[in-house]
């Protein structure tokens, strides 16, 4: 018989308190037990074993509770941390006994349409440990380890346990571990700040938290989140190094068997974490059979350029299309206002589509080689009927993508909406930019039409700090495309960085649709920036961290074909930055854009791979660069 939710939640609280505060007696019928059983899982690359993470899973024989720790080369990454899940019918966080173990090697190759690296190779060791309670309730703990991370998930193989009431999952860090946390918000736009693990204020934080221990850096993350479960955040009490998993729902409905999302720990040195595709590697394979229509690219975004008024004007939008075509930028995005009359159109009116000038704009843009992306509120795609009205219409008009806004939830019901919109947009060949949204969590591998997601305190914010901007490449942007919308040169005084840093953000931040947020006038006033933006792609063959320290500096190199693009951002006082050119051997032409006394300045020099070069950085400044092979006669990397 189902347990009422209020009663079940009360039972969960009592059960968790008992699990944490008492010790259960040894179970009857056992031989003299050992203090614990333990199993280890490491990455598959034996030649690099000392540098790979090692997960250790332990079963306490006195309580029947599981814990998991992670180390690298014998050094601490994650201290022993509780593992378990509680349902209406079974508490699978204690009183467990071991059944059996199964191991396998996971090897996969796949290509993506966007991201820090288009071609991916996956090698992971997987261990499945099966446990049961005395009453016969079964829990499988599946652990994977690769060269750049460890992850685990819970599998309830038999079902029949009722709703999930919570997890006892947590991550124990050394109290003095350096910590970068983003305050949790429903739209995932919290600003990142630095603490130690113990001194972070009591509260809730985004699950994309970065820690530095003697075993290296570790980014907590999640993968394969769908409407079968609930989104996670971290709950913390000041004074401890423990960060607990808290679900968005008090009860997660299940229809039977369940595999939860992966609790992932991306780990290694800072370069390894930054370059990692671990959360994508954990996710299911692509559900789009023919992705040929999915094309990343740079976008002229008109919201910060012209606001709602621009969205209501066909004349203004044609002018933006003209500018994008002149610059060779493949897309123009029309934001809020284009389909509003008072609040929203009456889509029950069979003639509602004929009121829009959007088909005329799409035809106009198509003739100039520019694709149109349109903004739409989530409430207008909330039901199957609304999606059946909107999405075929947008496809028929020739719209290339939709920017869907204001989900602002990771509750199970909203995640089920994501499941539906992902299938529907794929069927109607519409790329997606999610705003007011969840964060990637593997979604871009499974649904490659998802080109980017906001889930970040981006360019629209007026409270960002330079430290926040230099933390994002090591936190939010590690796990997937990030629609920060750089390039808003006109917002002088409303952004914390310099013009050269703003140019550098277009490379330092990866996004499958890289939305440029400036005005045509601001670009024309900065011809060096404009020329660089003309070169920037939105899909990358490789990514490398050249220099970095979260909150202080981030210099990334991204390769497209035979050219490397550089983006550097800094916080703090003006200084001379030293940058290693670790992009390969041989001789390279390096063209950089920096801040000068009277505006942007371009420098050129020829260097050998591995050399270091200096860049003069203003306070909270940065730089951008373009690098190509040099031989006599090569005078520029620009094309």
**Looking at residue 5, what is its pLDDT?**
40
Report, as an integer, the average pLDDT of 41-62: 82
Phi, psi torsion values for 481, nearest 5 degrees:
-55, 145
More confident residue, 8 or 169: 169
Strand partners, 624: 567, 593
The answer as to CATH 3.40.640.10 being correct for domain 297-539 is no
Residue ranges per domain, the chain? 5-22+36-282, 297-539
* H/E element, 15: helix 5-21
Residue closest to 566 by CA, chosen among 596, 543, 586: 543
**If you average pLDDT over every residue of the chain, what do you get?**
92
pLDDT band at 150 (very low <50, low <70, confident <90, very high): very high
Pairing of strands 401-405, 371-377: parallel
Structural class in CATH, domain 5-22+36-282: mainly beta
**pLDDT tens string 512-552:** 999 999 999 999 999 999 999 999 999 999 999 999 999 99
What pLDDT, in 10s, does the model give residues 335-382?
A: 998 986 434 445 555 555 556 899 999 999 999 999 999 999 999 999
Can you give the pLDDT at residue 256? Answer: 84
- pLDDT over 50 at 509, yes or no: yes
The count of C-alpha atoms lying within 13 angstroms of the C-alpha of 496, restricted to the half-sphere facing its C-beta, is 18
- pLDDT over 50 at 160, yes or no: yes
**Catalytic residue list:** 405, 460
Structure tokens that stand for 550 in this block:
């979260």
The answer to whether residue 19 scores a pLDDT higher than 50 is: no
Give residue 302's pLDDT band: very low, low, confident or very high (50, 70, 90). Answer: confident
Q: Which pLDDT belongs to residue 42?
A: 93
For the segment 66-87, the average pLDDT, to the nearest whole number, is 96
H or E segment to which residue 282 belongs? helix 278-282
Per-residue model confidence as pLDDT tens digits over 241-286: 999 999 999 999 998 889 999 999 999 999 999 999 999 999 999 9
pLDDT at residue 31 is higher than 70: no
For residue 618, give both structure tokens: 């203003």
HSE-up (13 A, CA, CB side) for residue 87: 24
In sequence order, the 6+-apart residues with CB closer than 8 A to the CB of 46 are none
CB atoms within 10 A of CB 121: 11
Of 349-358, 559-568, 619-628, the range with the lowest mean pLDDT is: 349-358
Residues whose CB falls within 8 Å of the CB of residue 164, separated by 6 or more in sequence, listed in order: 85, 86, 87, 229, 230, 247, 251, 252, 254, 258, 260
pLDDT score of 340: 61
Q: Enumerate the β-bridge partners of residue 194.
A: 180
d(CA 570, CA 576): 11
- What is the rounded average pLDDT of the residues 453-474? 96
How far apart CA 339 and CA 346 sit, in angstroms, is 10
| Helices of type H across 369-442 | 384-397, 412-427
The pLDDT of residue 350: 52
Is 200 strand, coil or helix? coil
Residue 308 has pLDDT above 90, yes or no: no
Q: What pLDDT does residue 349 have?
A: 57
CB distance 518 to 305 below 8 Å: yes
Residue 312's pLDDT band (cuts 50, 70, 90): confident
Q: What percent of the chain has pLDDT over 90?
A: 87
d(CA 420, CA 440): 16
Residue-level pLDDT at 163: 96
Residue of 376, 293, 295 lying closest to 333 (CA atoms): 376
Using an 8 Å Cβ cutoff, are 73 and 50 in contact? yes
Which tens digits make up the pLDDT trace of 175-212?
999 999 999 999 999 999 999 999 999 999 999 999 99
- Name the nearest CA neighbour of 168 among 254, 62, 63: 63
- Cβ burial of 4 (10 Å; 0-12, 13-18, 19+) is exposed
298, 533 Cβ separation under 8 angstroms: yes
Instruction: Say if residue 216's pLDDT is above 50.
Output: yes
Mean pLDDT score, 100-129: 97
CA distances (Å), origin 175, targets 172, 213, 524: 9, 10, 50
For the beta sheet containing 553-560, the strands, ordered from the edge strand earlier in sequence to the opposite edge, are: 542-549, 553-560, 563-570, 622-629, 587-596, 599-608
Q: How far apart are CA 206 and CA 231, in angstroms?
A: 10
d(CA 230, CA 209): 18
- Residue 297 and residue 400: Cα distance in Å, rounded? 11
pTM given for the model = 0.92
| Euclidean distance between CA atoms 216 and 219, whole angstroms | 10
Say how far residue 397 (Cα) sits from the centre of its chain.
Answer: 31
Percentage of the chain lying above the pLDDT 70 cut: 91
Residue 428 pLDDT greater than 90, yes or no: yes
């Amino acid at each position: 018989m189902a347990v009422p939710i209020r009663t079940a939640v009360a039972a969960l609280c009592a059960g968790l308190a008992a699990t944490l505060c008492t010790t259960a007696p040894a179970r009857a019928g056992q031989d003299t037990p050992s203090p614990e059983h333990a199993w280890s899982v490491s990455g598959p690359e034996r030649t690099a074993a000392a540098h790979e993470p090692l997960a250790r899973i332990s079963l306490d024989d006195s309580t029947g509770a599981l814990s998991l720790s992670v180390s690298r080369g014998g050094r601490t990454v994650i201290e022993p941390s509780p593992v378990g899940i509680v349902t209406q019918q079974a508490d699978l966080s204690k009183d467990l006994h071991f059944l059996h173990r199964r191991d396998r090697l996971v090897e996969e190759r796949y290509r993506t349409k966007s991201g820090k690296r288009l071609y991916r190779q996956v090698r992971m060791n997987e261990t499945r440990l099966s446990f049961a309670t005395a009453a016969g309730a079964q829990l499988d703990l599946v652990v994977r380890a690769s060269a750049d991370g460890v992850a685990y998930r819970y599998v309830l193989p038999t079902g029949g346990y009722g709703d999930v009431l919570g997890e006892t999952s947590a991550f124990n860090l050394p109290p003095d571990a350096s910590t970068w946390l983003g305050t949790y918000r429903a739209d995932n736009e919290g600003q990142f700040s630095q603490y130690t693990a113990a001194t972070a204020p009591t509260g809730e934080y985004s699950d994309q938290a970065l820690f530095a221990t003697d075993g290296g850096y570790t980014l907590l993350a999640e993968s394969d989140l769908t409407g079968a479960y609930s989104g996670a955040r971290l709950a913390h009490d000041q004074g401890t190094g423990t960060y607990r998993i808290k679900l968005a729902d008090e009860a997660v409905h299940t229809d039977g068997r369940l595999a939860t999302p992966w609790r992932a720990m991306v780990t290694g040195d800072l370069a390894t974490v930054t370059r990692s595709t671990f959360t994508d590697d954990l996710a299911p394979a692509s559900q789009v059979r023919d992705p040929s229509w999915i094309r990343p690219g740079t976008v002229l975004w008109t919201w910060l350029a012209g606001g709602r008024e621009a969205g209501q004007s066909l004349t203004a939008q044609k002018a933006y299309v003209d500018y994008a075509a002149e610059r060779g930028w493949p897309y123009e995005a029309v934001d809020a206002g284009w389909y509003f009359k008072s609040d929203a159109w009456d889509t029950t009116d069979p003639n509602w589509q004929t009121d829009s000038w959007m088909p005329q704009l799409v035809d106009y843009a198509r003739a100039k080689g520019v694709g149109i992306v349109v903004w739409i509120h989530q409430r207008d795609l909330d039901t199957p009927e609304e999606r059946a009205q909107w999405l075929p219409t947008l496809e028929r008009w020739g719209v290339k993508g939709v920017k869907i806004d204001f989900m602002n939830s990771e509750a199970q019901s909203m995640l089920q909406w994501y499941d539906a919109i992902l299938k529907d947009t794929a069927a109607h060949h519409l790329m997606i930019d999610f705003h007011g949204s969840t964060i990637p969590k593997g979604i871009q591998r499974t649904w490659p039409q998802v080109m980017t997601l906001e889930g970040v305190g981006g360019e629209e914010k007026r409270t960002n700090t330079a430290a926040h901007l230099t933390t994002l490449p090591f936190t939010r942007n590690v796990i997937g495309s990030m629609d920060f919308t750089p390039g808003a040169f006109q917002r002088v005084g409303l952004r914390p960085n310099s013009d050269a840093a703003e140019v550098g953000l277009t490379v330092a931040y990866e996004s499958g649709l890289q939305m440029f947020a400036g005005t045509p006038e601001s670009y024309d006033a900065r011809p060096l920036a404009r020329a660089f933006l003309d070169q920037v792609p939105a899909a990358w063959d490789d990514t490398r961290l050249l220099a970095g320290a979260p909150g202080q500096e981030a210099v990334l190199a991204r390769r497209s074909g035979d050219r490397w693009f550089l983006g550097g951002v800094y916080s703090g006082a003006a200084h001379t930055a030293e940058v290693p050119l670790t992009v390969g051997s041989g001789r390279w032409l390096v063209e950089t854009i920096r801040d000068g006394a009277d505006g942007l300045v371009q420098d050129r020099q020829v260097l050998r791979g591995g050399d270091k070069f200096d860049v003069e950085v203003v306070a909270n400044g940065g730089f951008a660069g373009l690098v190509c092979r040099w031989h006599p006669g090569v005078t520029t990397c620009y094309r």
